[in-house]
Amino acid sequence: MAECIFCKIARKEIPAKIVYEDRQVVAFDDINAQAPVHTLVIPKSHFATFNDVGAEEEALLGHMMLVATRVARDKGLHDKGYRLVANCLESAGQSVFHIHLHLLGGRRFAWPPG
């Protein structure tokens, strides 16, 4: 999508600290980090929310999860633990309408989330 900020990051039209990329996804560090490690995993194709992802994208969603675990390993979190978060719609905290997984780590997290 032309105006989507995460599409622009995927197309390298605006800068981001990209830590992983392949044909389907890009992972880059969050500009407003909430933990020592805060990386976002996005698909290169645009879906505004997880409600917009159909069953035909099952493999893509699984790939996003596996990439998140790979980045967690690369960032030294594999044995320490980490959190994966996906916010869907405003009430859950979604502010960018291009689906993404948050990989958070490097500190202790509370449960339940706020």
Using CA atoms, how far apart are residues 1 and 43, in angstroms rounded to an integer?
A: 12
| Residue 102 falls in the annotated catalytic set | no
Residue 24 touches ligand DGP, criterion: CB under 6 A: no
Q: How far, rounded to the nearest angstrom, does the alpha carbon of residue 40 sit from its chain's CA centroid?
A: 3
49 binding ligand DGP? (CB under 6 A): no
Q: What share of the chain is helix, strand, coil (3-state, %, to 5)?
A: 30, 20, 50
The 3-state DSSP class for residue 31 equals coil
Nearer to ligand DGP, 40 or 79 (CB): 40
* Structure-token pair, residue 87: 């916010």
Phi, psi of 65 (to 5 degrees): -65, -45
> Cα–Cα distance between 75 and 68 in angstroms, integer?
10
List the interface residues with ligand DGP, window 50-109 (CB under 6 A): 87, 93-96
Among 21, 30, 57, 74, binds ligand DGP (CB under 6 A): 30
Closest to ligand DGP by CB, 31 or 65: 31
Q: Which is nearer to ligand DGP, 81 or 93 (CB)?
A: 93
- Catalytically active residues, by annotation: 100
Binding site for ligand DGP (CB under 6 A): 5, 16, 28, 30-32, 40, 87, 93-96
